[in-house]
Amino acid sequence: MNMISSSSTTKCGLCLFLLTTFFISARTSDTINTSQILSDNSNDILISSTGAFALGFYSPGNSKNRYVGIWYNDIKDKTVVWVANRDHPLTDRSGVLRVIEPGRLLLLNSATSATIWSANISSTVQAPLARLLDSGNLVVADENDESNIIWQSFDYPTDTFLPGMKLGKNFVSGHQVYLSSSKNNDDPTTGYFTYQFDPTGYPQSVIKNGASVLSKSGPWNGVGFSGSQNLVKNTLYSFGVIINENEAYYYYQVLNDAVYTRLVLGEIGVGQRLTWSNQTQSWKPYLAFPMDNCDSYKVCGAHGICSTRTWPDCSCLDKFIPTDPQGWNAGNFSNGCIRRTTLNCEDGDGFLKYSGVKLPDTEGSWYNASMNLEECKVTYAENCSCTAYASLNISNGESGCLLWFGELVNMREIAFGQHIHIRMAKSELGSGSRKREIIIVTLPVVIGIVLLGLGLFLFYHVRKNPKHQQQETDTDNLRDSGETHGEQKIPMFELSTMFNATNGFSADNKLGEGGFGPVFKGLLEGQEIAVKRLSTTSFQGAHEFKNELICIAKLQHRNLVKLLGCCIQGEERMLVYEYMTNKSLDLILFDQVKRRILDWPRRFDIINGIARGLTYLHQDSRLRVIHRDLKASNIVLDSDMVPKISDFGLARICGGNETGAKTSRVVGTYGYMSPEYAVDGLFSVKSDVFSFGVLVLEIISGKRNRGFTLENHRHNLLGHAWMLYKEERSLEVVDSCLEYSSYSSQVMRSIHVGLLCVQEEMEERPNMSSVVVMLNNDGVLPQPKQPGFFTGRDVIRSETWHSSNTAGSANAMTISLLEAR
């Protein structure tokens, strides 16, 4: 009995040893076959051969549900790129993944033996295995011939498009590969939005909400998608489109295997190209789409063209007029435009060339790759149903022919857009329209003269009655700006609506107060809002109110606060913004307790976000905007701590290539103002760069620049950081509550960039696009020179102070200097 017992024990031990060995191999292998399983209960995991990707069970965010997913193996924060059972979660750790003959991949509930998820296969193999590749692709193949792949996860993506995938359609099988959004970070369930490469007509990429089209990229032109301004040749990845009788798809490949990049369709239908930064240990956005309102599908209707350089965004193509003039003037552009002269094919219609446009929607279009543009014109000039033609491919000159046979929709103005030839009536093409052209040219001149005379009359009249007339004129102009002329076309709210939304502007709803007046929290149709109400004793008046209304309504960026509407009624003037959960940066950064929630990654993300917002204002937006009052209290934070630049009451819009100007009325905040602006009234984009540099040093140190003191010197924060830099002790300026040891090089670099931004000579300061590059790359930085105001000296000034409700917030005060000349 003892021998039998001993033998049984030995056998059990051997079984346990073999079982343990098997599970260890499953954790370290990239493959499972029919004799192996992947068990959630045992924490099994597959790792691709180079360690780039891992596959296993996980729970997203705060969820307790269990899913099988693929993620980047060597990135600390788990970034999942594919989910098997996204719509069928497990509620416990009973999941088992296995592959069975003849090649089906199964996710089972080991407790009930129920199939939770399975892979669809169109063919079979006798010895199947599942392997996780270094591309992040999970494949099922023949163990004896792994080139015989019968299923792969790349054919069934979730919300992520990885290098090597084919986004498109196989015409032989009918299978279409597309992305679908997730519900949210805690729930990978299939969401409402899809991103597709649509081969209908001529291929273009499409974002949909269910069956409704939200955005179309414009057709592929050999270089990129006609309307995708940010999709350009770069050093990170190559991309292209393949079209043949068997398939049509869009793809991209990384140019360096060490670079991680992915395209993600977000939960609100916005696609982002993200690249992993080893320096910051975070994902950095490379491009996003849709980019602005003009990327919305059919936003200007048929024959309308969208441009973010004009206001409103929509206008009719030249020689077209609104189909519904009354609706058009009211801001309803959906009915689009019609030709002002009706086509008459028998009379000899022709084609008129339009340049710099995103080509129209190609659904229902036709193309011929072998035909050149002139052949296209000759062949289809007499085809009365052909409404427009353009080059199919512009990658090497112009080649091919792309034709439209109906209304032209989804066009926008693009600086480097394409040419399109649109069918027009004969009278619109030559001398027959000369009389009309004379009228078109002279009529604006006559109107301009009349308006100039009227303006001079009003100016004289206002000068005679300054207070009363100015108040009436400003109020009328403000309402006119918001409603009549369509200058910004934002909702106009009634005073009663604002009163109810803020509980009667109660003290309990008051968020703060600045130079403009008080700001109240409110609730409007279920949405939290912030209502900025102009005080009757405010330093800022109707001019600043109108300036902010017009300025921010024309700007759309992730790092700019969003304007929802305004209220102009009697003497009341209010701006309605999206409510920012975490309020303004200064309330957290300069609070001895709250600032601890701002760890270094969050602070660096805030610095980066502000930099990107300023880059947009200075050079990427259709307007060139100088903010002139950038400070911690004008940076607001949403629920995810994403920074948004706010308060554009003092901003200046520059025209053309203008980057600055001079003023006799200096407005801004001491501690953030550049020397040339505070002393000489010279403001420019470099003034904002100086303010940004101050903000960077404040964010790093957790200290205000203005009012900063130390016992051993009288320097302000800029002077203190400069002295430490010269003594190679820069890290001593860092906030004492920060743990930054693993980010020390990034912190040092940020301090260095901050000092470059606050140099005394404005010509020495970098522009904001360079700042973004310097913050996020490892290149050698120039040596900074002495900062402006580094001794903390006082400037002779005449001040009008308007304090914030933040206790001890000297930096949050906005001042106005009137130069005595």
Closest CA to 589 of 560, 631, 629: 631
Q: What share of the chain is helix, strand, coil (3-state, %, to 5)?
A: 30, 30, 40
Name the strand (E) or helix (H) holding 582: none
List the structure tokens of 261. Answer: 């990049």
Residue 553 burial by Cβ neighbours in a 10 Å radius (0-12, 13-18, 19+): buried
- C-beta neighbour count of 794 within 10 angstroms: 8
Question: Residue 566: which of 578, 576, 556 has the closest Cα?
Answer: 576
Cα(446)–Cα(461) distance, rounded to whole angstroms?
23
- Cis bond leading into 102, ω under 30°? yes
Helix H or strand E segment including 577: strand 572-578
629 among known catalytic residues: yes
The DSSP letter of residue 617 is I
Token match 């904001």: residue? 768
Q: Which residue, chain included where needed, has tokens 């992520």?
A: 160
At 356, the amino acid letter reads G
Indicate the SS3 state at residue 468. helix
Task: Give me the half-sphere count of Cα atoms (radius 13 Å) on the Cβ side of residue 817.
Answer: 20
Pick from 603, 609, 572: nearest CA to 588: 603
CA contacts within 13 A on the Cβ side of 190: 14
CB atoms within 10 A of CB 395: 11
Marked catalytic residue, from 40, 629, 647, 735: 629
Token reading at 603: 């602070």
Can you give the three-state secondary structure of 241-267, one letter per residue? Answer: EEECCCEEEEEEEECCCCCCEEEEECC
- Is 30:46 a contact under the CB 8 Å cutoff? yes
DSSP conformational letter for 587: H
703-731: b (≥16 Cβ within 10 Å) or e: bbbbebeeeeeebbbbbbbbbbbeeeebe
**Closest to 667 in 3D by CA, of 644, 654, 648, 641:** 648
Q: What is the DSSP letter of 482?
A: I
Q: What is the DSSP string of 409-466?
A: -SEEB-TT-EEEEEEE-GGGTSGGGHHHHHHHHHHHHHHHHHHHHHHHHHHHHHHHSH
Distances (CA, A) of 455 to 347, 441, 481: 47, 22, 16
* Cβ–Cβ < 8 Å for 323, 119: no
Catalytic residue set? 629
